[in-house]
């Protein structure tokens, strides 16, 4: 079982990579991500994301291994479908070339399209 810590407590673990989850005041998931330094990444989100003021609670799961972080991030994304996540998937064609597909979550709109 993973133990979660409040992201504000994560500054004690700045050398520890992890997966983080931002929640709004009603505990609705806003964003999930992974980073080698979730506290620094949180500060980047705070400066660059218009939705960041909605964040009321931050949770971090310390996970050192990159493969484990990516798996946990994917599990949390699929379980909670955070409003502001955008997911990119790399696919391989039969001829071996790679291409990206993007899964947009409910908080995103395609350019030029109105809901």
What would the two tokens of residue 38 be?
A: 């979730």
Phi, psi of 112 (to 5 degrees): 85, -10
pLDDT tens for each residue of 48-74:
999 999 999 888 888 888 888 888 888
Q: What is the pTM of this model?
A: 0.69
Phi, psi of 80 (to 5 degrees): -105, -20
CB atoms within 10 A of CB 80: 16
User: How is domain 5-83 classified at the CATH fold level?
Assistant: GIY-YIG endonuclease (3.40.1440)
pLDDT tens for each residue of 19-40:
899 999 999 999 998 898 888 8
What would the two tokens of residue 102 be?
A: 């993007």
Domain ranges of the chain: 5-83
Q: Taking the mean position of all CA atoms in its chain, how far away is CA 5?
A: 16
pLDDT tens for each residue of 60-114:
888 888 888 888 888 888 888 898 987 666 667 788 876 655 555 555 444 444 4
């Amino acid at each position: 079982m993973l133990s979660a810590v409040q992201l504000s407590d994560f500054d004690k673990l700045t050398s520890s990579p992890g997966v983080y989850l931002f929640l709004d005041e009603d505990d609705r998931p806003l964003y999930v991500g992974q980073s080698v330094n979730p506290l620094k990444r949180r500060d980047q989100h705070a400066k660059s994301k218009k939705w960041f003021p909605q964040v009321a609670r931050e949770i971090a799961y310390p996970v050192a291994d990159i493969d484990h972080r990516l798996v946990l991030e994917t599990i949390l994304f699929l379980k909670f479908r955070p409003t502001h996540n955008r997911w990119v998937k790399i696919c391989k064609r039969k001829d071996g070339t790679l291409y990206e597909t993007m899964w947009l979550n409910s908080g995103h709109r395609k350019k030029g399209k109105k809901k």
